[in-house]
Amino acid sequence: MLNQVLLGRYIQGDSFIHRLDSRTKLLATFFFIFIIFLANNWVTYALLFAFVFLAIYLSQIPVNFFVKGIKPLLWIIIFTVGLQMFFTTGGTTYFQWHFIQITSFGIVNACYIFMRFVLIIVMSTLLTLTTPPLSLADSIEAILKPLEKIKFPVHELALMLSIAFRFVPTLMDEAQKIMNAQRARGVEFGEGSLVQQIKAVIPILVPLFVSAFNRALDLSLAMEARGYQGGEGRTKFRVLKYGKHDVYVFVAMSCLTMALVYLRG
């Protein structure tokens, strides 16, 4: 159940995309999601898809990983697309029943929404599949650095992020372990009435919280024992460095944006 989640998984590799600086990847992904909203006709969407496929090809990760990434979100997509399809007015009306109607505008809009979803999911999956969570946290720290001027606790935020990223799999394992132990003691998950199902969560949540507290205590002690005193005056082990690949991405992104602006209707 828990291991179906693809988001946040990293796949080791040595492709063009893997070698990019994580700051570039993070910014490029955000930028890409932003410019998706520039697209408003078939040509522009085709261009975006071509770009995404090029990125997937460069990452050397099999396409079915991305299909699996879309699957858990399928119902949300279908729901939104359905709403667009049945409640948009305008253009030729093909079918009408009270206020539900299928129109040509509706179909086109639904297609656009669907493509937007797919593009956003695929691009963010690509980011997490090719970037180790820790370097993602590093890059967030680097990007937020300027905010230190306005007394924003960038280092603390980055530290919390990297600890959180680091402990997601550990806590997932822990949750799975506790779940198994409680199932062995006769707890049924996902069965019975809503009240029963909520009650069945308590035997997982309480131990999970307790173990998180204990872990936090141990971790903070271990950090202090190793001389951690906050962000001031710390040096870095993993130094982020821009290379010429990152320039290619910058150029590609600019070209894509200009093409989109030119081609949009």
Partner 1 sequence: MEISFKHVNFDYQAGTPFEQRALFDVDFTIPNHSYTAIIGHTGSGKSTILQHLNALLKPTEGEVWIGSEKIDDTTANKSLKPIRKKVGIVFQFPESQLFEETVIKDIAFGPQNFGVSEKDALEIARQTAAMVGLDENVLEKSPFDLSGGQMRRVAIAGVLAMQPEVLVLDEPTAGLDPQGRIDMMEMFYRLYREKGMSIILVTHNMDDVCDYAEHVIVVEKGRIAKTGSPKELFKDMNWMLDKQLGRSTANQFFSKLVEKGLKTDANPLTTEELTSFIIAKYQEANRC
Interacting residues with partner 1 (CB under 8 A)? 3-4, 9, 62, 64-65, 68, 174, 177-178, 180-188, 191, 202-203, 206-207, 210-211
In the complex with partner 1, the residue whose CB is nearer, 76 or 210, is: 210
Cα–Cα dist 112/92, whole Å: 18
CB of 61 or CB of 161, closer to partner 1: 61
Give the nearer residue to partner 1 in terms of CB position, either 170 or 254.
Answer: 170
Q: Name which of 70, 79, 62, 75 is nearest 4 in CA terms.
A: 70
Cβ within 8 Å of residue 48, ≥6 positions away:
36, 39, 115, 119, 256, 260
> At closest approach, how far in Å is the CB of 184 from partner 1?
4
Smaller CB distance to partner 1: residue 14 or 191? 191
Minimum Å distance from CB 225 to partner 1?
21
Least distance from C-beta 74 to partner 1, angstroms?
15
- To partner 1, the closest distance from the beta carbon of 207 in angstroms equals 5
Q: In angstroms, rounded to a whole number, what is the distance separating the alpha carbons of residues 29 and 246? A: 13
Alpha-carbon separation of residue 39 from 25, 31, 45, 195 (angstroms)? 21, 13, 6, 46
CA distance linking residue 92 with residue 101, whole number of Å: 10
Nearer to partner 1 among residue 124 and residue 211 (C-beta): 211
**Smallest distance from partner 1 to CB 191, Å:** 8
Q: Which amino acid is at 29?
A: T
